[in-house]
Structure 1
Amino acid sequence: MEDSQEGKTNNLLTKVQGAINYSLVDPIKQEPRVLLLSLSTFFMTMGHGIIVPIIPLLINSFGLSAAMIGIAVSSFAVARAFSNIPSGILAGRHGAKTVLVLGATISGLGNLMIGVIPEYTSLVAFRFVAGLGSALFITAAVIFVADVSTSANRGRLMTIYQTAFLLGVTMGPAIGGITAGTFGLNAPFFLVGITSAISALWAMTRIPGNVAKRSPGSHELAGNHVNQSSSMVASLDLIKDARFVAVSLVTTAVFLTRGSCLFNLYPLLGRTRFALTTRNLGLMFTIPSASNLVSLSWAGALADRLGRKALIVPSTFLFAVSLMVVALSPNIQGFAVGLVIYGVAQAIEGPAGNSYVADIVPKHRRPLALGIYRTFGDVGVVLGPGPLGLIADWAGIPWALFVNTLIMLAAGTLFLIVTSIKPKHVRA
């Protein structure tokens, strides 16, 4: 009996070790450069996280309204929406490394100047500058992973990158809060300047410079639209691909949900329906980050094993379920369950969506395609909060969540219909 139990235990350990090797060890052995990118990303996104809870507090200290806070926050997303496509073009021309260094530097300077000049108009302007830097860095990072990966390991490598991204964002708010409480509301912005500088220096000294760089004279580019016509024509060609538009609309719906619900309506619902304190709200909103982080370990592996579409479609329906659970929840436990489901959905959609775009476009067009793809997402962040906020004011927060649910279901259904006939050469 003991031998049988020991055999079962050993068999289980072997399976766990095999899963870890497949999900983490094997892709890192195949492409260790992703670890170099991940460390730079960690410091960059830690800076993002540091100032997330500080911006509203700093603006509130000026005696300004919540609407003024919204303008300042949205200026970051507006800058990203306008910068993602140029970021992709720059990465294709000069390589991902150059754009990573430039993005981290610009983002750091923008945030540093907010600390130097703590005044509202300057804050909005420099948040815009920081958004430009963020777009440059993150777009280049996704392009980097897409370029060094293959269709066989892309989902897992995207997951490794996104884990570093999420770790930075998750750790940042606590660091920002402690720094602000100890040294004042301006201090976190100086700290972000330091983390951005570390990110830029690491990228400059450790990340290879040839990744994603396209040579106009290379065989790969000869005779294609990138060499013969403008980026606008190339962009129009991408938009003609129904699969690309469908997956881009999915990311629009995902970012709309994040900007409208996770960052706006969910906190309001927690305060009004469940009377959560600021401290408890902060604790509650570690839940989606935690479930996201835990789920990333297997989401990337499934994206490579099952294909991207097999995960993208279910992820949209999981987002819809999370919205409905939160909208209808009569207690705090249901609210927490909805947040867990949201984190799982985010973990599934992120690597699968980026990998799908990289799969369906030619290699020479990946920088531009991923820039456009990210722009679709940031448009959702810019356009969603206003209309859904108005619905929440007029009819209540649950109705706004119902509308968001319909948007998410529509995006997922459209993607399912458009991709139901899969080209033979696309592993999706």
Structure 2
Amino acid sequence: MNTITPKKQKAALLVVGIAIFLDMLIYGLVVPILPKYASALGASQTGIGLLFGSYAIALFIATPIFGALSDRIGRRTPMLWGLLGLAAATLLFAFAEEYWMLITARALQGLAAAITWTSGLAILADLYPSEERGKAMGLALSGQAAGILLGPSLGGWMYQLGGYKLPFLFAAVLAIADGLLRIFLLRDLPERTSGTFLSSFGLLRNRSLLLISGVVIIGSAIPSVLEPTLPLHLQEKFNAEPGFIGMLFAIPTLSYALATPWIGKLSSKIGYKKAVLIGLAVVAISLPLSALPDSMWMQAASLVLLGISMGMVLAPCLPALADISEQSGLPSYGITFAIYNTAYSFGMILGPVTGSVLTDAIGLKLSYLSVGCVALLYMLIMLPSFRRTEVTRLNSNAHDR
């Protein structure tokens, strides 16, 4: 096996960070464009909802398959498959003239994300030791937030500049450039394959992994709770225009992006479970706060806190899952991060439905308070596991001395 040098680690981190950034950039690129175009093709509001949901559905279905495959055949080849899928999806978007073509393109985008995320994160787990994974994966996740932040505004601006096709053709060019980068920088990386890896069902018997998967569901559901509910609240309470609402939504994403690398580094020092517990507590406070402010400045401040808290919940989960897989005695990082992606996509599906139903039933403030209480309750569920881990660690330290 090739020696893992710091240069190779940094090359892998760059490739994975850019891959995640590009995936989320194109994910957000379509947000201001597709509803109008799909409507022009005859799609109903329900059809438009299905169009956007097809990404998460494809991600949910494909992730376990390609996670297991990356353990079997290695990481580099699936990374290139993911890129080809993303390029094909963007070109299909550009030249779609029927609603079913849009559905196919969006689902193909979700399929490409399933391949890229599981293989990319597994590469980082392969190359970085446990004590450095938190920082590395935190840096990679900052690419996710940056892509989400830039995607919608870039898509809207390019649409106004050159029409419907321009944003997708631009994205296809970026995908090709990213492909060249992946081929060049990943060619000398050591491959880790496993002929006998843990199945997702085998890993899911691990209590710690189940608990972390629940954290991922909560962490991904929080921003998607806001998307269908907070804009209407801001319009009614502050008479906010859509452009200003878009700027406010950029605040938690930006604070998430800036905080995630530092949170990853902190979680490596204090322990992943402790970092997650703190994150859940802060989410339980910050989410209800985002429905209370009477001024825009306070609203912005509450969204900054919410973005940081989302980073504190999600960033420690990736290295924690890698450690759980490693401690199982048979590290199967592909299937481990497939579980992460599956949990994340489930949260993306669950969040908008839960937020909308609760807001209709009990109002925005109580709905956000209810979701915050779920985060708090889950923190209490995790506490016994955290205490057992601490007792084990202290006993191990005492034995070593």
SS state of the match for residue 290, structure 2?
helix
Structure 2 Cα separation of the partners of residues 85 and 195 of structure 1: 27
Question: Residue in 1 aligned with 2:91?
Answer: 112
Question: Residue in 1 aligned with 2:253?
Answer: 289
2:285 equivalent to 1:317: no
Could you list the runs of 5+ residues in structure 1 that have no partner in the other structure?
Answer: 1-26, 217-224
Q: 1:196 aligns with which of 156, 163, 175?
A: 175
SS state of the match for residue 324, structure 1?
helix
- Report the Cα offset of residue 30 of structure 1: 8.4
Structure 2 Cα separation of the partners of residues 134 and 209 of structure 1: 24
AA of the residue aligned to 2:211: A
Residues 65-93 of structure 1: per-residue CA shift (max 9 Å, x gap): 44332211111011111111112112112
Structure 1 Cα separation of the partners of residues 340 and 191 of structure 2: 17
AA of the residue aligned to 2:18: L
Q: Where in structure 2 are the equivalents of 1:75-224 lying within 5 Å? A: 75-208=54-187, 211=190, 213-216=192-195
AA of the residue aligned to 2:65: P
2:224 equivalent to 1:259: yes
AA of the residue aligned to 1:136: I
Q: 1:31 aligns with which of 1, 6, 9?
A: 9
- Report the Cα offset of residue 32 of structure 1: 1.7
- Report the Cα offset of residue 389 of structure 1: 1.2
Question: Residue in 2 aligned with 1:235?
Answer: 200
User: For the Cα contact (< 8 Å) 2:194–2:332, is it kept in 1?
Assistant: no
TM-score w.r.t. the length of structure 1 is 0.83
Aligned residues: 386
User: For the Cα contact (< 8 Å) 1:101–1:203, is it kept in 2?
Assistant: yes
Structure 1 Cα separation of the partners of residues 187 and 376 of structure 2: 41
- Report the Cα offset of residue 98 of structure 1: 1.3
Question: Residue in 2 aligned with 1:45?
Answer: 24
Question: Residue in 1 aligned with 2:333?
Answer: 366
- 160-169 vs 203-212, which deviates more? 203-212
- Report the Cα offset of residue 209 of structure 1: 6.3
AA of the residue aligned to 2:225: S
Q: CA 1:245 to 1:212, structure 2 compared with 1: closer, same or farther past 3 Å? A: farther
Question: Residue in 2 aligned with 1:244?
Answer: 209
- What percentage of residue pairs aligned between the two structures are identical? 22
2:310 equivalent to 1:331: no
SS state of the match for residue 52, structure 1?
coil
Q: CA 1:301 to 1:173, structure 2 compared with 1: closer, same or farther past 3 Å? A: same
User: For the Cα contact (< 8 Å) 1:324–1:401, is it kept in 2?
Assistant: yes
Structure 2 Cα separation of the partners of residues 212 and 279 of structure 1: 46
AA of the residue aligned to 1:252: I
User: For the Cα contact (< 8 Å) 1:303–1:352, is it kept in 2?
Assistant: yes
Q: CA 1:94 to 1:407, structure 2 compared with 1: closer, same or farther past 3 Å? A: same
- Report the Cα offset of residue 235 of structure 1: 2.2
User: For the Cα contact (< 8 Å) 1:42–1:168, is it kept in 2?
Assistant: yes
User: For the Cα contact (< 8 Å) 2:38–2:48, is it kept in 1?
Assistant: yes
Residues 339-394 of structure 1: per-residue CA shift (max 9 Å, x gap): 10121112223321101111121252222111112211211111332233122223
- Report the Cα offset of residue 421 of structure 1: 0.5
User: For the Cα contact (< 8 Å) 2:321–2:337, is it kept in 1?
Assistant: yes
Structure 2 Cα separation of the partners of residues 139 and 153 of structure 1: 19
SS state of the match for residue 32, structure 1?
helix
2:238 equivalent to 1:274: yes
- Report the Cα offset of residue 103 of structure 1: 0.9
- 297-306 vs 384-393, which deviates more? 384-393
Question: Residue in 2 aligned with 1:8?
Answer: none
- RMSD, matched Cα: 2.5
Q: CA 1:286 to 1:105, structure 2 compared with 1: closer, same or farther past 3 Å? A: same
User: For the Cα contact (< 8 Å) 1:327–1:402, is it kept in 2?
Assistant: no
- Report the Cα offset of residue 113 of structure 1: 0.7
Residues 177-213 of structure 1: per-residue CA shift (max 9 Å, x gap): 1110011133222222222222223212321465553
2:348 equivalent to 1:381: yes
Question: Residue in 1 aligned with 2:316?
Answer: 352
- Report the Cα offset of residue 128 of structure 1: 0.9
User: For the Cα contact (< 8 Å) 2:67–2:338, is it kept in 1?
Assistant: yes
AA of the residue aligned to 1:399: L
Structure 2 Cα separation of the partners of residues 29 and 413 of structure 1: 42
User: For the Cα contact (< 8 Å) 1:361–1:369, is it kept in 2?
Assistant: yes
- Report the Cα offset of residue 405 of structure 1: 1.5
AA of the residue aligned to 2:93: I
Q: CA 1:264 to 1:298, structure 2 compared with 1: closer, same or farther past 3 Å? A: same
Structure 1 Cα separation of the partners of residues 313 and 395 of structure 2: 18
SS state of the match for residue 300, structure 2?
helix
Structure 1 Cα separation of the partners of residues 280 and 375 of structure 2: 6
AA of the residue aligned to 2:277: V
Q: CA 1:332 to 1:407, structure 2 compared with 1: closer, same or farther past 3 Å? A: same
AA of the residue aligned to 2:54: S
- Report the Cα offset of residue 64 of structure 1: 4.5
Q: CA 1:118 to 1:357, structure 2 compared with 1: closer, same or farther past 3 Å? A: same
User: For the Cα contact (< 8 Å) 2:215–2:313, is it kept in 1?
Assistant: no
Q: CA 1:69 to 1:275, structure 2 compared with 1: closer, same or farther past 3 Å? A: farther
- Report the Cα offset of residue 267 of structure 1: 2.2
TM-score w.r.t. the length of structure 2 is 0.88
Question: Residue in 2 aligned with 1:403?
Answer: 370
